[in-house]
């Protein structure tokens, strides 16, 4: 499972930076290697928020997930990739 964290940003590189499959994996690995603690912290925070949303009643849990958590996840991860690209 610890190895999977190195692939967490590969999809974002494919879409945002229009990189190929292998290049996106390499860039994702570089990003995670450089900012491992930040990436791990981000993953844990998003997982905890998701678990808390799961404890809500079904309708409210779905509403919070689809309206808040999923867009927040994509915005934060996109920002993470873009900030790495600038450096």
CA–CA distance, 60 with 19 (Å, rounded to integer): 37
CA–CA distance, 8 with 70 (Å, rounded to integer): 15
**Residue that wins the pLDDT comparison between 85 and 67:** 67
Output the CA angle 24-26-29, nearest 5 degrees: 105
CA–CA distance, 31 with 19 (Å, rounded to integer): 14
DSSP at 43? H
Q: Contacts for 63-69 with beta carbons within 8 Å, 24 or more apart?
A: none
Mind listing the pLDDT tens digit for each residue in 19-70? 899 999 999 999 999 989 989 898 899 899 999 998 999 999 999 999 999 9
Could you tell me the pTM of the whole model?
A: 0.77
> Which residues are CB-contacts of 25 (< 8 A; sequence separation ≥ 6)?
7, 10
């Amino acid at each position: 499972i610890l190895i999977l964290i190195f692939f967490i940003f590969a999809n974002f590189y494919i879409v945002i930076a229009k990189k190929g499959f292998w290049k996106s994996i390499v860039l994702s690995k570089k990003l995670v290697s450089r900012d491992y603690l930040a990436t791990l912290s981000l993953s844990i925070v998003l997982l905890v928020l998701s678990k808390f949303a799961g404890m809500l009643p079904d309708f409210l849990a779905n509403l919070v997930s689809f309206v808040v958590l999923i867009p927040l996840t994509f915005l934060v991860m996109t920002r993470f990739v873009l900030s790495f690209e600038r450096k």
